Amino acid sequence: MNDMFLLKQGEIVLKGLNRKSFEMKLISNVKRRLRPYGRFDVYCVQSTVYVEPADGETCDMDGAFEALKTVFGISALSRAAACEKDKDAIFETAKRYLGDEMRSAASFKVESKRSDKRFPMTSIQLSQYVGGMLAEAFPETRVDVHEPELTVNVEVRDYATYVHGPSVPGAGGMPVGSNGRAVSLLSGGIDSPVSTYMTAKRGVAVIPVHFFSFPYTSELAKEKVLTLAKQLTRWCGRLMVEIVPFTRIQEEIRDKCPEEYFTIIMRRFMMRIAERVADMNGAKALITGENLGQVASQTMEAMAATEECVSLPVLRPLVALDKEEIISIARRIGTFETSILPYEDCCTTFTPRHPRTKPRIADVIEAEKDLDIDGLVNEAVTNIERVTLEV
């Protein structure tokens, strides 16, 4: 029996003449994600991606199925058995492949879809035939077409018929890499890993940048961020984390700028450096975990002052979410428990006692006039440490 996977496309089906490029990116991402689990043949027909083990005995089908649940661009997936396009072969396959599920379910029904219109039975006729045969084979499982405990799915397609139980939800979104690249400012908090995940879900290949202020922040704090980035690889794929030395910049801000502007000026430096990283990597946007009104540096005026110094668009996926919504996503994607570990990051260093919440951009520019902005940015970019993380 041919055990395989059927992956249903999400938003890709809405695309027009460029749809093929999105499908090819999805196939490429699926193949890459499956490499640790064996050799698979992956191809796409009629809005469905088919994944067949090239060598069934050596493929880890359970591990592969779990991995595919985190691939963006897939709306639903199912583990299926392929058989000939013959009504009796379909029944025999359903009886063998879903036998355990049939025996444990109190009720069932059969749903059929007939993409290949050359098949001699209609969808309703096929469902009635297979359902009747299964009812005889499993007399303790009653038929219930309205609220069944188990639905047996039969799909008659171009190459074969596929039998499977209920599909499970996929990761949704668009294939990573199909909508360009962006640089994400990744701290050790709850918000920035979620904003990175949400942007990757829209098909963006993400380059995380972390600002490290040793000795004010410890090596454990840096390791915490690398752990977060590693956890994000199951969703984002391979990541190159750019770790920026930020101590000298913060000390210069402390020594030469008014205290109430420390945070705003610090964030402006982060944006300048992130834009330089974006230029070096062909990225077209910056991503932050800012959430409107959450802290003093996330008012409308403060965000305007923060982004005034860069020309790339700034994406803020969390801007309208409340904290509980963000925490819920963090728990679901597996980053929350790491984010709440008690290691400081550079955003808590030299925090002003009375930060300016509604700064005027002209005042901010005046406050940073004694800094060698270009020199400090160049020095930080020159000394970036790069760490590659695989799924």
3-state secondary structure 264-305: HHHHHHHHHHHHHHHHHHCCCCEECCCCCCCCHHHCHHHHHH
pLDDT of 269: 98
Residue closest to 174 by CA, chosen among 349, 298, 9:
9
* Strand pairing category for 205-212 and 150-156: unpaired
Question: 């040793």: which residue's tokens?
Answer: 214
* Residue linked to tokens 């499993």: 138
What residue spans define the domains of the chain?
2-171, 181-389
Domain 2-171, architecture per CATH: 2-Layer Sandwich (3.30)
> Which pLDDT does position 56 carry in this prediction?
65
Its pTM stands at 0.92
Same fold yes or no, 2-171 and 181-389: no
- Rg for the chain, CA atoms, rounded: 26
Interatomic CA distance for residues 216 and 262, integer angstroms: 16
Digitized pLDDT (tens) for each residue of the chain, 391 residues in all = 578 999 999 899 989 899 999 999 999 999 999 999 999 999 998 889 999 998 767 899 999 999 999 999 999 999 999 999 999 999 999 999 999 999 999 999 999 999 999 999 999 999 999 999 999 999 999 999 999 999 999 999 988 999 999 999 999 999 999 999 999 999 999 999 999 999 999 999 999 999 999 988 889 999 999 999 999 999 999 999 999 999 999 999 999 999 999 999 999 999 999 999 999 999 999 999 999 888 877 899 999 999 999 999 999 999 999 999 999 999 999 999 999 998 766 666 677 777 888 999 999 999 999 999 999 999 999 999 999 999 8
Name the 3-class secondary structure at 247. Answer: helix
Residue 356, pLDDT score: 84
The pLDDT value recorded for residue 76 is 97
Structural fold of domain 181-389: Rossmann fold (3.40.50)
Q: How much is the pLDDT for 52? A: 94
